[in-house]
A and B are shown apart, each in its own frame.
Chain A
């Protein structure tokens, strides 16, 4: 699984970072999120990433299960 935050949709609600701080980092200046992990999400973090996807109020996070490099 890969994960991507759409910068056009993210509004800085910060729930993803609360749920999975090892995967999502927040910008110091506006609090908007980006995925730290560029490639495959480690298996032990997949459940947290799924919860972040489900919890995002703007639905800005997309997992790419099929898009393996």
Chain B
């Protein structure tokens, strides 16, 4: 078979272009129906899988797909999960590794991120949510991104890592801004400065914990054996960057989009609040499907193969579009509509196969607690479309920069954010909350 035969289904796919965001529904419909696996000449040439069945088959074909990002040129020179490869050769933790090393990392971190492990944190999350809302509740105005959805996932992620909770504001800005700031923006210098400050803080805590054990995921990584050896510090910093990047911006993006939609559909918002006992789970999965915060992942074909009706050659690059496969009408009736009670919701928003998002349980819990608190304390909120800022491109994260809203003011309940963060630090330290679930099973005890 010639290359032209193999690549006869073609589509000019440019996920980093602003037009891809603007025309997402039209492009998705076209690709899913006409070329669910297509060759695109963009970004050095790569395959794009958009059909649900095709993405399912491909993502689970671990024997023919590699996530490896071989930054030191020790193996086959594969380029990891970003297409095109970003500037600066940096391995993105175990998401840019293959088994067995990838599996060793997940085994080290699973006891911190399993459903049972995450449930222990719910009282802490509720306190952080309550306090964040307190800061705005009397004014009748809030920015759901800046004042809530940026804060809670960040503080919780630091707590689980073993970093002081009050440092959250060193981390929030660079993590979000590095996703939405284009490299040619006049802002990029400031973003890079804030990123440097973040990595300095992170590296400092990593070195401290390496010397003196302290509960949390950093401790687990500093003492992990991967492929029979102790990984070097740079590799571990890459793993920490993956946890931080995965823990912050994605949950923020999901929460902002869900609140924006609920503001536009007040009767659905009231129904969700009223019927939360039966609707909250399905609504959460539906927001995940529809808004797919992380829209896709790249892979490298590791051996010639025929999968999902296409013929691939070793070394070729492949983009698995979770976002487009989540709109395939063969699996999701009325795919471009949000149905809070949707059943059979086999969405791909946390990926598939052995790289399934390891933080998925954290994301769901934090999202649900933030959403319920807003429904309870700001039930009539109205988002301001003129002030809402969506990321200009959706190549990396389908996120929002700002989402201002107004609501009928209400009373504060308990203390503010700074005091609460300080109290939660004491709770974390005294109860050793950041221990793995294998060591500490009980739920956090919090007095509000």
Contact = CB atoms under 8 A, between A and B. Distances in A.
Interface of A: 11-15, 17-19, 26-31, 51, 54-59
A25 B107 CA distance: 19
B274 interface: no
Nearest to B107: A30
A54 B438 contact: no
Contacts of B110: 29-31
Nearest to A10: B356
A13 B360 contact: yes
Dominant SS among interface residues on chain A: loop
Interface in B340-356: 343-348, 350, 352-354, 356
6 contacts: A14-B115, A28-B116, A28-B117, A28-B438, A55-B345, A55-B346
B116 A57 contact: no
Contacts, number: 64
Interface residues of B, number: 29
A55 B344 contact: yes
B55 to A, nearest CB: 11
A19 B281 CA distance: 9
A14 B346 contact: no
Contacts of A58: 60, 352-353
Contacts of A28: 114, 116-117, 437-438, 441
B346 A18 contact: no
B285 interface: yes
Nearest to B345: A55
A38 B350 CA distance: 29
B111 interface: yes
Interface string B326-368: 0000000000000000011111101011101000110000000
Given A11-B352, A29-B111, A30-B114, A55 B343 contact: yes
Interface in B111-139: 111, 113-117
